[in-house]
């Protein structure tokens, strides 16, 4: 990787080499502020739509709410990759965050009017669509500010720190709801808008062109209409690029299978805390229980991030994720079957641990084995397929889980899927990919 351009200092005061470059720290700060704001937004919308005392969400309604959160990965994703390989990625981070902040004002207005129908869903979709550009841009630009030798650490630190920031934002929002009164949801949405504006400000301090793509790439001289017309061909090329790299292809598949399992347990846990572990009228208590389960998953992600650099050195890039998958396959279904909140939180911890372990490995394999001129579209393709897996799991839970969330057969199926994924991840990539 090329050294930092003129004007970019390498600070010796930074203990972690992954954060030695100023622009790496700014990229991380952009992620933290943006994802914390996303967490506040999720708290506001979750309280308004899924955990309102006036609403008792069914499995189908829960799936629909999560689909709104995840659709931008599929709707915007195919376009985002091509654009990120042609547009200045710093500019994308700034403009997309500002656009999200503006749309959040509209979301707050709809929430204030108690609108929870198609208009709210479409507005949230628009805001989250811009968010897809942001997260894809953050991943695609990471190798430009971190040395290749430190990519494992970077992929442990950056996404996990973002996930934790989102969790902190969500928990902070949930804690604030009782104190903000009846207007809590709209006030939290406006707070999220302010946070997104701050994320844009932080991103604007990164020098233009620092995150790529290469300004000499002739593809950048084409008109936007030509770029948009090349979306399908570009995505096909991204698929072909990954298909020709067995390690990257198999790593992506492992993460997708974990997302399916995670999606099933996500919806089922929400149903359990809403309909089985708490009385129907105790929406705030159910929300607090779900926040604890989400906190368990976040804690697992943190532990995986802290352990990843040493664990991958000791166990290797395949054995470490496989070990966490096996632990989740055995432990998570058993924990949720107890219908005990502390053990459900422990099961969520195992799912978060395994999810982050396989994601770190997957990100690193893609960054190592994908060419830079394809990296934007490949990481956007990555987002699409990961969320397709998550939606598949959510849909399966919506179709198969009862309203109570008590589904022993579904829990056993999730455990079997995770154990099979662990075994597949240990096979040599060259044998069948």
DSSP secondary structure letters along 103-132 = HHHHHHHHHHTT--SHHHHHHHHHHHHHHH
Distance CA 421, CA 220 (A): 40
Q: What's the confidence (pLDDT) of residue 433?
A: 45
Q: What's the confidence (pLDDT) of residue 220?
A: 62
Q: Which of 125-134, 163-172, 271-280 has the lowest mean pLDDT?
A: 125-134
Q: How confident is the model at residue 199 (pLDDT cuts 50, 70, 90)?
A: very high
Supply the mean pLDDT for the chain: 83
List own/partner pairs for 101-106 with CB under 8 A and 24 or more apart. 101/193, 101/194, 101/196, 101/197, 101/200, 102/193, 103/127, 103/130, 104/41, 104/189, 104/190, 104/192, 104/193, 104/196, 105/190, 105/193
Q: Which of 26-35, 59-68, 318-327 has the lowest mean pLDDT?
A: 59-68
Q: What's the confidence (pLDDT) of residue 6?
A: 38
Q: What's the confidence (pLDDT) of residue 11?
A: 42
Tell me: pLDDT of 414 over 90.
yes
Please write the tens of the pLDDT for every residue from 149-180.
888 788 778 988 898 899 899 889 888 888 88
Q: What's the confidence (pLDDT) of residue 412?
A: 96
Distance CA 198, CA 32 (A): 11
- For residue 332, count other CB atoms closer than 10 A to its CB: 28
Q: What's the confidence (pLDDT) of residue 222?
A: 66
Give the HSE-up count for residue 76: Cα atoms under 13 Å, Cβ half-sphere.
23
Q: What share of the chain is helix, strand, coil (3-state, %, to 5)?
A: 80, 0, 20
Q: Which of 33-47, 176-190, 226-240, 249-263 has the lowest mean pLDDT?
A: 226-240
| Nearest alpha-carbon partner for 253 in 318, 349, 209 | 318
List own/partner pairs for 416-421 with CB under 8 A and 24 or more apart. 416/329, 417/257, 417/260, 417/261, 417/329, 418/257, 418/258, 418/261, 418/325, 418/326, 418/328, 418/329, 418/332, 418/354, 419/325, 419/326, 419/329, 419/330, 421/254, 421/257, 421/258, 421/261, 421/325, 421/329
Tell me: pLDDT of 192 over 60.
yes
Tell me: pLDDT of 431 over 60.
no
Location of structure tokens 């969330």: 405
List own/partner pairs for 349-352 with CB under 8 A and 24 or more apart. 349/296, 349/297, 349/299, 349/300, 349/303, 350/300, 350/324, 351/261, 351/262, 351/265, 351/297, 351/300, 352/296, 352/297, 352/298, 352/299, 352/300, 352/301, 352/304
Q: How confident is the model at residue 72 (pLDDT cuts 50, 70, 90)?
A: low
Q: CB under 8 Å to 184, separation ≥6 — which residues?
A: 44, 47, 176, 177, 178
Between vectors from CA 371 to CA 364 and to CA 141, what angle results, nearest 5°?
65
CB burial of 110-141 (b: ≥16 within 10 Å; e: otherwise) equals bbeeeebeeebbebbbbbbbbbbbbbbbbbbb
Q: CB under 8 Å to 408, separation ≥6 — which residues?
A: 337
Distance CA 296, CA 298 (A): 5
Tell me: pLDDT of 432 over 70.
no
Angle between helices 59-75 and 118-145 (to 10 degrees): 50
Q: What's the confidence (pLDDT) of residue 73?
A: 61
- For residue 229, count other CB atoms closer than 10 A to its CB: 13
Where are the alpha helices (H) located in 224-337, listed in sequence order? 224-229, 231-243, 246-271, 283-337
* Cβ proximity of 346 and 296 under 8 Å: yes
Q: Is 361 exposed, middle or buried (0-12, 13-18, 19+ CB in 10 A)?
A: buried
Angle between helices 151-180 and 184-203 (to 10 degrees): 150
For residue 10, list its beta bridge partners: 21
Q: Which of 66-75, 153-162, 217-226 has the highest mean pLDDT?
A: 153-162
Any idea what DSSP says for residue 351?
Answer: H
Q: Which overall architecture, per CATH, does domain 17-432 show?
A: Up-down Bundle (1.20)
Element containing residue 20 per DSSP (H, E) = none
Q: How confident is the model at residue 398 (pLDDT cuts 50, 70, 90)?
A: confident
Please write the tens of the pLDDT for every residue from 290-324.
888 988 998 999 899 889 888 988 998 889 999 99
Q: How confident is the model at residue 332 (pLDDT cuts 50, 70, 90)?
A: very high
Of the two residues 364 and 122, the one the predictor is more confident about is: 364
Distance CA 44, CA 394 (A): 21
């Amino acid at each position: 990787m090329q050294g930092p351009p003129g004007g970019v200092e390498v600070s010796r005061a930074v203990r972690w080499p992954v954060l030695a470059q100023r622009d790496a720290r700014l990229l991380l700060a952009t992620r933290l502020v943006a994802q914390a704001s996303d967490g506040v937004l999720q708290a506001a919308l979750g309280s308004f739509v899924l955990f309102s005392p006036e609403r008792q969400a069914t499995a189908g309604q829960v799936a629909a709410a999560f689909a709104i959160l995840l659709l931008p990965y599929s709707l915007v994703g195919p376009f985002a990759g091509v654009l990120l390989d042609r547009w200045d990625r710093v500019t994308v981070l700034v403009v997309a965050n500002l656009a999200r902040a503006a749309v959040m004002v509209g979301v707050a207005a709809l929430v204030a009017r108690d609108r929870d129908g198609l208009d709210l869903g479409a507005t949230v979709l628009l805001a989250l669509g811009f968010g897809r550009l942001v997260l894809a841009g953050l991943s695609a630009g990471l190798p430009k500010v971190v040395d290749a030798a430190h990519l494992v650490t970077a992929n442990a630190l950056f996404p996990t720190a973002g996930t934790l920031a989102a969790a902190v934002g969500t928990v902070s929002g949930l804690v604030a709801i009782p104190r903000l009164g009846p207007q809590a949801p709209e006030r939290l949405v406006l707070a999220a808008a302010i946070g997104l504006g701050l994320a844009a400000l932080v991103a604007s301090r990164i020098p233009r062109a620092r995150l790529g793509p290469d300004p000499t790439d002739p593809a950048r001289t084409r008109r936007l209409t030509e770029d948009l017309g090349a979306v399908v061909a570009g995505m096909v090329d991204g698929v072909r690029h990954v298909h020709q790299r067995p390690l990257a292809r198999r790593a992506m598949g492992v993460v997708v299978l974990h997302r399916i399992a995670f999606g099933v347990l996500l919806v089922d846990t929400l149903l359990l805390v809403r309909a089985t572990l708490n009385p129907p009228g105790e929406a705030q208590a159910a929300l607090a229980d779900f926040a604890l389960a989400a906190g368990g998953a976040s804690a697992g992600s943190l532990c995986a991030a802290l352990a990843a650099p040493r664990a991958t050195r000791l166990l290797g890039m395949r054995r470490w994720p496989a070990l966490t998958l096996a632990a989740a396959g055995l432990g998570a279904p058993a924990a949720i079957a107890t219908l005990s909140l502390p053990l459900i939180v422990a099961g969520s911890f195992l799912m978060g641990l395994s999810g982050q372990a396989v994601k770190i490995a997957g990100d690193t394999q893609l960054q190592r084995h994908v060419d830079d001129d394809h990296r934007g579209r490949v990481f956007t393709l990555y987002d699409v397929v990961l969320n397709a897996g998550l939606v598949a799991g959510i849909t399966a839970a919506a179709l198969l889980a009862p309203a109570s969330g008590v589904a022993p057969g579904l829990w056993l199926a999730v455990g079997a899927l995770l154990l099979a994924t662990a075994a597949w991840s240990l096979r040599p990539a060259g044998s069948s990919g």
